[in-house]
Chains A and B, each alone.
Chain A
Amino acid sequence: MHIAPRVLRRALAGATVALLATAVGCAPQPEEKAASAPSGTGADAASGANVCAKGKLATATTGKLTVATDEPAYEPWFKDGKPSNGKGFESAVAYAVAEQLGYDRSAVVWQSVPFNKAFAPGAKTFDFDINQVSISDERKKAVDFSSGYYDVRQAVIALKGTKAAKAKSVADLKGLKLGAQVGTTSLDYIDDVVKPTGQPAVYAKNDQAKSALKNGQVDAIVTDLPTAFYITAAEVTDAEIVGQFENQGGTPEQFGLVLDKGSTLTSCVSAAVDALRADGTLAKIEQQWLSDAVDAPVLK
């Protein structure tokens, strides 16, 4: 009576250990195979003449180009919250890049991926992400970037007639309560360029920064210039652009397409962006969707 349960227990423990051991032995294998398959075909393509053969890239879904962006998608980068309509600067850029890579409009699939998730480790379900992500060396440690498709400037917005709206220089901003969206270079500009005396307000979304500005919880908010233009023209119409910052250290801040770290597509996508810049397509798209956001006084 006493021995039977003990034997049973031992057998059970042994079985568990054996099972776990086999799990360890087996688990990585399928994943490894899955992971090596696309890179294998990539290598095959590399040994062939053209890695970036038109329409034949090793994409997440064969024959389709999956493009990701955050939801909601904001103007002027996207129009009507529908990235797939080809309207708005980034939507147009995505389709131009797709065409350059040999995928026509119908082969482009859009995916909604939150900013935070776009750079999480693990297999990506998209081929590239377009979401006003600024290229930086620090971020390059986590993801791949294509060449920059837009030179961005940061701008300050304040309600008309307030003290903040009269600022002429960066020094005039120091004493103000400033706000920006988390994870943006706008916030870096506040921290590194303005160096305000008080702690800045940091919001999860620009929407909350906008309402804080409207409510007088902050004196001014910082966004990129096209967004600033859209906010003042359409969303918070009693606000105005105080001015734009000069680029830091001479190298212009650029938005880039985000790809998985070590993606086989990076060089192809970069080449596509470079080609679009060289033939003037990017300039044309910029002219079409961002032409209004050109003039704003520079804060020295």
Chain B
Amino acid sequence: MTVTKGESGREGTDGEGDPRGGGEDAPADGYVPSRRRRERERYKRARARRATAVAALSTLVTGAVLYLVVVGAPGWPRTKETFFDGQYAREALPKVLEGLWLNVRLLLVCGAAVLVLGMLIAVARTLRGPVFFPLRVLAAAYTDFFRGLPLIINLMIVVLGVPALRLQGVTVDPVLLGGTALTLTYSAYVAEVFRAGIESVHPSQRAAARSLGLSNRQALRFVVLPQAVRRQVPPLLNDLVSLQKDTGLVSIGGAIDAVRAADIIVGRSLNYTPYIVAGLVFVALTIPMTRFTDWVTARMDRQRAQGGTT
């Protein structure tokens, strides 16, 4: 990407500086690059090749040094069999994946709930008008409280404390209760992300929308929120990845997620390999998510850029 951009940029300046004239405005079919230009490009290619070679060599040396440091460490054989034992990896993988299914389901359900609830709270906090004062205060109190309360304590209270009340009709299922606790905490985080996004849209946008005859609600719905949401994608992804990892904390109530499944094998064998397997499985889940959001962000940026030029 950057290379082509740079080249095309150079092409423009080069054309302008070309003593033989023509330049940008000349028709593309009759264009023959000048000798100086071809030379310059040859030189640039040579430099690029050299840079690649140096980078490759440097990477190789660094890799080799790191490898030697780790493998040459006196405790390496012990570490290897404790953390990287193929037999335990094979034993752990199916159980970890089974547990991961719980994490994924929690992520999907809680993620959706968090986005909806977070958006509602953020909008409630940014509402104008004296009528909404109590709503604003409640929303602020909610974010302050659940953002400050450590998640693990929130989980303890909800997963272990709520069933202790012995309320009729309230579930004792640790997964449902754990999901509720996760949603409470994460919607507070996400509400702040949404609020920051909403407030980052310049007031002139709202003013312009109002002057066009849109109501306050319409201005929020059609002008402010679409702009806000675009800016929020990276921080929202951050919170979702974080949520994905924290879904495992519902194991506090006895549910078996990927990490707890690894825990069980570790406890029996005193070998840490299952933890490595569980860790890698989470990483493998996060990477496609990140790439997907990158793609979404890039697409939105392109659309916005197009909108800007026309």
Contacts and interface: CB of A to CB of B under 8 A. Distances in A.
A138 B271 CA distance: 9
A202 B65 contact: no
A24 B71 CA distance: 10
A17 B63 CA distance: 11
B252 interface: yes
Contact of B263 (A21, A35, A183, A209): A183
Given A202-B251, A217-B253, A261 B264 contact: no
B88 to A, nearest CB: 10
B32 interface: no
Q: B65, B166, B255 — which one has the most chain A CB atoms within 10 A of its CB?
A: B65
Contacts of A193: none
A17 to B, nearest CB: 6
A202 B256 contact: yes
B148 interface: no
Interface residues of B, number: 36
B75 A122 contact: yes
Contacts of B207: none
A212 B270 contact: no
A98 B74 CA distance: 31
Contacts of A31: 73-75
Contacts of B267: 182-184, 187
B254 A218 contact: yes
A179 interface: yes
B94 to A, nearest CB: 14
A208 B255 CA distance: 12
Given A121-B82, A215-B172, A204 B252 contact: yes
Given A24-B69, A209-B254, A13 B74 contact: no
A202 B68 CA distance: 40
A142 B166 CA distance: 44
Contacts of B263: 182-183, 202, 204
A267 B254 CA distance: 39
A199 interface: yes
A272 B202 CA distance: 77
Nearest to A214: B164
Interface residues of A, number: 43
A245 B58 CA distance: 62
B137 interface: no
Nearest to A187: B264
Nearest to A181: B267
A203 B160 contact: no
B266 interface: yes
Most central of A13, A27, A121, A261 by chain B CB within 10 Å: A121
Contact of A27 (B62, B72, B163, B251): B72
Nearest to B262: A182
A98 to B, nearest CB: 24
Interface in B60-87: 61-62, 65, 68-69, 72-75, 78-79, 82
A201 interface: yes
Contacts of A300: none
A35 B76 CA distance: 14
B160 A183 contact: no
Contacts, number: 107
Contact of B72 (A28, A199, A212): A28
Contact of A216 (B74, B172, B251, B255): B172
A215 B268 CA distance: 28
Contacts of B65: 17, 20-21, 24
Contacts of B172: 215-217
Contact of A211 (B68, B164, B268, B270): B164
Contacts of B58: 13
A119 interface: yes
A27 B69 contact: yes
A141 B78 CA distance: 11
Contact of B254 (A35, A120, A143, A217): A217
Nearest to B174: A217
Contacts of A44: none
Contacts of B61: 17
B218 interface: no
B269 interface: yes
A245 to B, nearest CB: 17
Given A121-B79, A139-B270, A142-B270, A212 B254 contact: yes
28 contacts: A13-B58, A17-B61, A20-B69, A24-B65, A24-B69, A24-B72, A27-B72, A31-B74, A32-B74, A35-B74, A120-B82, A120-B272, A121-B75, A139-B270, A141-B270, A141-B271, A182-B267, A183-B266, A183-B267, A202-B260, A202-B263, A208-B160, A208-B252, A211-B164, A212-B254, A215-B160, A215-B164, A217-B163
Given A24-B68, A141-B269, 7 more contacts: A20-B69, A24-B72, A27-B73, A183-B267, A209-B254, A217-B254, A261-B78
Interface of B: 58, 61-62, 65, 68-69, 72-75, 78-79, 82, 160, 163-164, 166, 172-174, 251-256, 260, 263-264, 266-272
Please name the 10 residue pairs, one residue from A and one from B, whose CB atoms are nearest each other, closest first. A183-B267, A201-B254, A142-B270, A215-B163, A119-B270, A121-B78, A20-B65, A121-B82, A24-B68, A139-B270
